[in-house]
Every structure is written in structure tokens, then in C-alpha cells.
Amino acid sequence: MVKTTYHILQSGTLMSRFFYIHAEIIQGELEKTTGRVHGFEINGIWLDHPATFVRLSGGPGQHVRLYTDLQACSEPETLLLRETKSGTVRFNSPSQTVTVHENKHRYLLLTDQTGILQSLPLLVALGRQGRLTEVYYFQDHDRESPNAFGKFVKSLSYPFHRIRELEESSFSRLLRKQTVDVQLLIVCDWDKYSRLLRLSRNLGYANEDIEGYFTGEKEERVFCARCYKIQKKLAEPEMTCRHCGTSLSVSKHYSPRIEAYLGYVSL
């Protein structure tokens, strides 16, 4: 695993929830423009929290901005971060990256509360490249307030749409009316990510039209061959469909469209 080391130039908080570090590379090379890393080391102290980054310039003297979510940090960790104004930051090769395809002309960023940390570097990268972008934010419940994120998006002069529920038929209409030069950038929790991926693939979006990754845990699922209902995959290969009561033998045959393994009927 390649480790890159940076000299901290500046740090601060963003939207009162996220901490950012602006730094210049002193060792290694960061190949990808944006992505996520599992933890980072700041002045010799390892913080085991996800962080996202955006590479601001290439070649020698690369500048990078690193973001982490203070809500995931303990009080001493938050204090440490807030007091860090200089020194070094190090992190490993990214675990996930997002590629913004240059042959596209418009970008739809589809995200939710869990995807804000991942969206920040993406929006900065798109903004620096002057890409036409729209943000669709899925709000899980009424108490949730994405105002700060909305303001951040608008500060980049990007339209910000708040969607209260991922209603597939209306979202299909939105995706269907897009032109071929659009790229979907999806960073949401597993449930929304898999539904959006399925929806867009069903509408003919090719692999190169879709980029992104899901946040949090992936729930493995089983498709019942008899009733077509989907349910959570259990540890055992044999299970009973909780919808139709059929005994199922769970196979390794996996559908990326349905995001589930096929459960064969067993006698």
C-alpha cells in the first residue's frame, strides 16, 4: 500500500461539521483526483476515521485537500484536529475513487446525508474544472436539515434539489430526459445507491455513464426464484423465503441489476 505524505498549509472547519486540511505533497504521488481513504495519520497520530480528498494540482508540489467528519471523531480527536495548524499528514492509497469523465458535459451528483463527506471533494473538483453540475440530495426524514450543504453547493453556483423521498417513477423521468453527455455521480447509502444504480442501468445508462460508491455497510440480499421478492441474505446457504415460505438454496449467482444473489427453490 502506497503512503503519501503532505505538509499541512492550512486547516479549518466547513459547515461546522467537517474538518479540512489543505496540504502540499512532500513524499509519494496521488494519482486519482478524488476518493476516500480509510483513516489518516496527523503529526504521527493515527485517526481511524474515513476521510475524502481532492487533488487540486498535479505533478511535483501537488496540493491536496483532505476532509473528515468531526461527528465521527471523539472529543480528544476533535480537539487535536482543531488545534492542528501545521505539521504533516499521511494516508494510504485510496480505497475508493471517483473518476469524472472528461468527455461528458453535464454531471448529476446524487447524494444523501451519508454522502456529504464524499460529495465535498467531488464538488470542489467539478467546480475547479468548470463542469456543469446539478446536485440532487435525498432527504431521509423531515428533521434532517441539509441547509448548510445546500449553501455550500450554491456557493459553487450549482443548482441544489432537495428530494424528500426516492420515488422511482419520478426519478426515472428525470433520468430519462437526460442527454447522452450526462454522467451520474452517486454517493449514497447502500439502499439508495443500489436502487439508483438499478434504475439507471434499466434505463440504458452504460457503465461509463455512472460513477460512485456507497457509504456504510452493504446489505447482502437474496432474490427468491419463486416469488421474486428480495430479502436479507443469511449466513447459512439454506433459508426459507420470508415472503412465500419456499425453501431456498442460496447460490453464488449474483445480479448487479437486482443487487442480490439467486435463491434456487430446493425440495
Chain positions contacting another protein, by CB under 8 A: 201-204, 206-208, 223, 225-226, 228, 246, 251-258, 262, 264-265, 267
- Distances from the Cα of 261 to the Cα of 192, 196, 226, 232, 256, angstroms: 18, 18, 13, 10, 9
User: Whole-angstrom Cα distance, residue 205 to residue 208?
Assistant: 8
Compute the least distance from the CB of residue 204 to another protein, in Å.
3
Task: Closer to another protein by CB, 143 or 252: give it.
Answer: 252
Cell numbers at residue 156, please? 459553487
Instruction: Give the per-residue SS3 of 186-242.
Output: EEEEHHHHHHHHHHHHHCCCCHHHEEEEEECCCCCEEEECCCCCEEECCCCCEEECC
Compute the least distance from the CB of residue 174 to another protein, in Å.
15
Compute the least distance from the CB of residue 65 to another protein, in Å.
33
Compute the least distance from the CB of residue 234 to another protein, in Å.
19
Coil, strand or helix at 149:
helix
Closest CA to 159 of 187, 189, 126: 126
Task: Closer to another protein by CB, 85 or 257: give it.
Answer: 257
Question: Do the Cβ atoms of 31 and 79 come closer than 8 Å?
Answer: no
Task: Closer to another protein by CB, 240 or 251: give it.
Answer: 251
Compute the least distance from the CB of residue 256 to another protein, in Å.
7
Compute the least distance from the CB of residue 161 to another protein, in Å.
24
Task: Closer to another protein by CB, 161 or 201: give it.
Answer: 201
Task: Closer to another protein by CB, 46 or 254: give it.
Answer: 254
**Beta pairing, strands 34-42 & 106-112:** unpaired
Q: How many CB atoms lie within 10 A of CB 203?
A: 13
Task: Closer to another protein by CB, 143 or 176: give it.
Answer: 176
